[in-house]
Amino acid sequence: MAKNQILTQSAEETMALAKRLARHLKGGAIICLYGDLGCGKTTFVKGMASGLKINPTKVNSPTFVLMNIYEGKSPLYHFDFYRLETVDEIGAIGYDEFLYGDGISVIEWAERFGSLLPKEYLSVKFSHKGEGKRLLRFQAKGGKYKELLIKATQSQINKCCFVSM
């Protein structure tokens, strides 16, 4: 198994992993999530929320809005671009004040950022690997996120899961 890949065997493992990762995040962090419907992106956001002392049951995919804000140890800005039709809609919500502010941003369907994709972020790509199993591939874009991945690996954020980073 290549480096920076983690296989989770249940939704709970995905949440536990995201919770551990969230504890390493600093204000201004951007996490981009990719993968088909049902592959665990929102589950991952719930885990991040709980790592930031936000009740994970508050987290669900925003249906009519592109972003939800949850107040916690750091504010968590949860974007979901599933229903996005044009990139202009992202501009219209003043996304940059959030994304480039002091909170932590997590974006589902981040491929729909188009030309507004930030330069630096942590990418997490999800894929189905059978009943209850999901492969999460982490990739750092930019030095700050490379450091984050190294720190996260050293502190064994994956210790809930079977495959090592």
Ligand X SMILES: Nc1ncnc2c1ncn2[C@@H]1O[C@H](COP(=O)(O)OP(=O)(O)O)[C@@H](O)[C@H]1O
Site residues (vs ligand X, CB under 6 A): 8, 10-11, 13-14, 35, 37-43, 108, 132-134
Nearer to Mg ion, 39 or 148 (CB): 39
Q: Where are the alpha helices (DSSP H) in the chain?
A: 11-22, 41-51, 88-92, 95-99, 143-154
Greatest Cα-to-Cα distance within the chain, rounded to the nearest angstrom? 42
Q: If binding is defined by CB under 5 A, does position 46 make contact with Mg ion?
A: no
Nearer to ligand X, 104 or 106 (CB): 106
The 10 Å CB-count burial string (b at 16+, else e) for 86-115 is: eeeebeeeebeebbeeebbbbbbbbebbee
Q: Out of 8, 42, 43, 50, point to the residue binding Mg ion (CB under 5 A).
A: 42
Q: Out of 22, 25, 31, 41, point to the residue binding Mg ion (CB under 5 A).
A: 41
Q: If binding is defined by CB under 5 A, does position 14 make contact with Mg ion?
A: no
Q: Out of 61, 123, 127, 139, point to the residue binding Mg ion (CB under 5 A).
A: 61
Nearer to Mg ion, 20 or 41 (CB): 41
Contacts of 11 by beta carbon, 8 Å cutoff, 6+ apart = 40, 43, 132
Alpha-carbon distance of 79 to 133, in angstroms, equals 24
Q: Which residues bind Mg ion (CB under 5 A)?
A: 41-42, 61, 108
